Amino acid sequence: MYGDSGAVWISNVEDLLKSLKNRFHLTFSEPFSLSYNFVVPVQIGRERDAVLKVGYPNNDFSNEFHALQDFQGKGMVEVIDFHKEEGWILLDRLTPGTSLHSVEDEKEVLHVLSRVAHRLWHKPAILHAYPTVQSWSNGIGRLREKFNGGSGPLPEELVLKAENLFPELLSTSTDLFLLHGDLHHGNILYSESSGWTAIDPKGLIGEREYDCIQFMLNEWKKWDVPLELLQYRTRTIASLLSLSYERLIQYGFCHSVLSACWSVEDAMGGWTTGLSLARMFEELMKENELTLKFS
């Protein structure tokens, strides 16, 4: 992804880890099984359990670094130390650290999500050029460029509908917040000392409704009637967080299409998941339009 500079960074990673080990008197455990960043549980001396996250110091890492600072004291994992230019962050280790995946009852899951989201969302306190929902939406345009104006493996009518709806939503946005950007089951962990706590923020500026959508793309296939689950989730979240149900399902449709575009862009096979969710959100939108028409 990063050419020569990426190769140079990779060649220096082991030296960086050795330096951090000596600097903080770290004891390393087995690293987590992840695909991009290197994340490993560590012990600082004999005093404190922590997690060391090391990644290529690109814009995404910089955004996460600033978001972690911005969210401190607001339901986010504690930052112990960091070095943005070297590309590492030392974080408190949440114990036992079980994720929201472990909770079976959907009602309880939604209440946990709502409490965590309510604590997180705020006006950004740090002066940093976070990405915006509008900048993220450009991923659909990149799909067009990739396929010379076409939509590749994605249905043209869905892509076109998202292209038209996204600008409409963005132009009517009124109250923008600093969002987590990737708030799903796996990024909400339980801590004995702090309760349910968020990790791994991307840092994104947008309406609160948008921050609920990534959650919707998770843990739905195990349900017999996924559309009913999606409707329950959107209605419950809208009620618990005083959000617009209409904008929630509209953002849901747009982000699902965008997620599919990202998967195609990254040459990943997961774009079918985005399409499945987009069609379900489309059903909820049609149902909502009929309800409004005859109410």
Which tokens hold the place of 237?
Answer: 């979240």
Q: Tell me the CATH number for domain 101-294.
A: 3.90.1200.10
Q: Identify the pLDDT of residue 67.
A: 95
Q: Identify the pLDDT of residue 294.
A: 77
Torsion of CA 214, 263, 61, 179, to 10 degrees: -20
Instruction: Kindly report the pTM of this predicted structure.
Output: 0.92
| CATH H-level superfamily of 3-93 | Phosphorylase Kinase; domain 1 (3.30.200.20)
How many C-beta atoms surround the C-beta of residue 234 within 10 A? Answer: 23
Enumerate the domain spans of the chain: 3-93, 101-294
Q: Identify the pLDDT of residue 268.
A: 67
What are the 10-residue block averages of pLDDT along the chain, 295 residues in total?
88 94 95 87 92 91 92 93 91 95 95 97 90 96 94 95 97 95 96 94 97 90 87 96 97 96 83 92 93 77
The full DSSP string for 183-251 is -SGGGEEEETTTEEEE-----EEE-GGGGGHHHHTSS-TTSSSHHHHHHHHHHHHHHHTT--HHHHHHH
